[in-house]
Structure formats: C-alpha cells, structure tokens
Amino acid sequence: MAVDLDATQTEAMAALSAATTPEGLDAWKGAWIGGSGRLKSLMAGLKDVPKDQKPAFGKRLNELKAAIESAYEARRAEVDASAGPRGPLVDVTEPGTPVAEGCRHVLSRTIDEIVDVFGRMGFTLAEGPEVEDEWHNFTALNIPESHPARDATDNFYMGEQGGVKRLLRTQTSTVQIRAMERQKPPLKVVATGRVYRPDTHDATHYSMFHQIEGLYIDRGVSMADLKTTLVQFAKAYFGAEAEVRMRPSFFPFTEPSAEVDMKMRIKGEWKWVELGGCGMVDPNVLQAVGIDPEEWTGFAFGLGIERIAMRRYGIGDIRWLFENDARFLRQF
C-alpha cells in the first residue's frame, strides 16, 4: 500500500486554502469529501491494505478525515464572512435622521400653570366662544350703546346673524356672562382664552392676545375676598415674596373697580407689573343675567397672560410669541 496519507492531507489543505469563493469551496468539497471524492476512494482502498497495516492505516485515515472536514467547516465560515452580508444592505449602526423634538408653547404652559393655581383655590374652568354677540361683549357687561369701546375702529365686527351683530370678543369678561347664564350662584370660575383688538402690531401690542378671567359669586362676597384671592394666587405662582397692589380705576362691569399690579421677580429683582383689572361685580351685570344683587355679590378680575409670561421670562417683544420660530420657542 503506497498511499502516503501525510502527503494527501497536505495536498487537501493546500487546495482548501486556495479556495477563496463559495463556488471554489463547493468544488473542493466535491473533490475531497463529496460522495465520489478522494476521501471516499481512500476509504474504499482500505480493504486492499495488508492485514498487519490495516489498524494503523485505518486510524490515520480517520484522523485525516476529521482534520480535513473540520478545516473545511472553518474555511467555509471564513469565506462566507468575507463574502459580505446577504439580504438587504442596511447598516443598523448608522445614525438615523434626527426627528425634531417638540415642546409646549410658553403661553400654553403659562395658561396651564395659572389655571392649576386657581384650580387648587376651588375655581372651575368656564368657556365661551371667540365670536361673540354685542350683548355678551358689551350690553350685559353694562357697557352702554354710546360707549366708545363699541366703535368699529376698536373691534373686529363680523357682520350680522339673525339681526344680531357679531364680533371677535375683545375681553374674556364675556365668559362671566356665559357662566352666569349657565349656572345659578354660588359660582366660582376662571376662563382663559384669546381676545382680539385691532391694534397695530409692535413690541407690546398684538391684534390677538390671551386673558384669564375670574368670577366668584356668593352671599356676602367682599373686596377683602378679592384681594385675598389675588394675593394667594400671586404667592403661589410668583413666590412667597410676591405682593398685590390695587389702584382705583373704572370698568363698566365692576363697582368699585381697580387696576391690579403684582410684584414679581424679574431677573432676580422684585418689580411691580401692571397685570389687569378687577372689582366687585356691578349690580347691573347681575341683573342682566337674572341674579338678584340684593342676595348675591361677587368679584371679578381679568389678567393679561402675555404680560405675565413676557415679564416672567424676560420676553422683549410680543410678536415673538406668535412667529413660531422654533429657535425662540425652544428656550422655554
């Protein structure tokens, strides 16, 4: 028996290293370990080996078989790996396209925070339409027919419907009337929303802005309750050192009436800021909605949301709040 198994193994290994493609490996497999490959014929030749050499030859042959088979598996894995990925060419480690992250608008946040404070003080939320009729915007609020506040130049009139003149509301005080029509006293509500005035836009004026309105009607409500409510709000919202100042004023729907200033921290310093108006609800207003002013009294207030947010966050121009420039809005 002249077959040199060491030389055969060397030859098989050399041919295997030379196979660099999946096709080359398939060919090697067919030639060496396939059904009619070299290994098969060596096995078949075992029967012709002289009897005394058979055990040694058989053992060596088995070693050869194991060696080239495992070498084949290893080489197959290597070639498969270097042949590159199969299936779709997606690199899951590549950074994706970033999706811009949104944030709440500074005004929405301010409104939520303010409503939250009044909510804790027992005020519920009331609502009214932005397109109002003259009765809710003026008449029921004790604003006479001849009052200049009704001038066409000071309002966005929207034409008539069913003989009723409509306009974009100029104040959230309209919601006082809506709330009292809907619910008998006692009544304790706040309303927030947009109001509209034909102002020329500049750093402090815009034709649309937001107000928060408060209304409390009960037996024996006094000016002291009004002041207490405003002070509690100021301290809860602006901090324990906040203060409230009321200056005598006039509004048709309150008597007496006052302007409200609150002392808030602006860039580390406590400063007075004028925020809106307030007063005791005028008996004529109560009468307009069928509430007996002899039995019930109440207070009302209206504050400007933009004012609060602008002073609080040091926003120098009201127009920035409505330009929707993400670079500006992202700061809050």
Binding site for ligand DAH (CB under 6 A): 171, 173, 213, 251, 254, 276-279, 300-302
Q: Cα dihedral sign for 144, 180, 300, 219?
A: positive
- The nearer residue to ligand DAH, 185 or 277, going by C-beta atoms, is 277
- The nearer residue to ligand DAH, 75 or 178, going by C-beta atoms, is 178
CB of 325 to ligand DAH, least distance (A): 28
User: Are residues 164 and 134 in contact, defined by beta-carbon separation less than 8 angstroms?
Assistant: yes
- The nearer residue to ligand DAH, 135 or 328, going by C-beta atoms, is 135
Cα 279 to Cα 249: distance, rounded to the nearest angstrom = 9
CB of 293 to ligand DAH, least distance (A): 15
- The nearer residue to ligand DAH, 17 or 204, going by C-beta atoms, is 204
CB of 176 to ligand DAH, least distance (A): 7
Write the CB contacts of 157 (distance below 8 Å, at least 6 apart in sequence): 165, 166, 167
CB of 231 to ligand DAH, least distance (A): 16
CB of 302 to ligand DAH, least distance (A): 3
CB of 254 to ligand DAH, least distance (A): 4
Report the b/e string of 309-322 with b at 16+ CB within 10 A. bbbbeebeebeebe
CB of 214 to ligand DAH, least distance (A): 7
Strand order in the sheet with 297-304: 124-125, 187-196, 208-218, 297-304, 269-281, 254-266, 243-251
CB of 152 to ligand DAH, least distance (A): 18
Q: Cα dihedral sign for 68, 72, 73, 74?
A: positive
- The nearer residue to ligand DAH, 187 or 278, going by C-beta atoms, is 278
- The nearer residue to ligand DAH, 11 or 181, going by C-beta atoms, is 181
- The nearer residue to ligand DAH, 39 or 175, going by C-beta atoms, is 175
Question: Which of 2, 59, 106, 27 is closest to 315 using CA atoms?
Answer: 106
Cα 173 to Cα 163: distance, rounded to the nearest angstrom = 23
User: Are residues 277 and 286 in contact, defined by beta-carbon separation less than 8 angstroms?
Assistant: no
- The nearer residue to ligand DAH, 113 or 274, going by C-beta atoms, is 274
Write the CB contacts of 260 (distance below 8 Å, at least 6 apart in sequence): 230, 244, 245, 246, 274, 275, 276, 277, 278, 301, 303
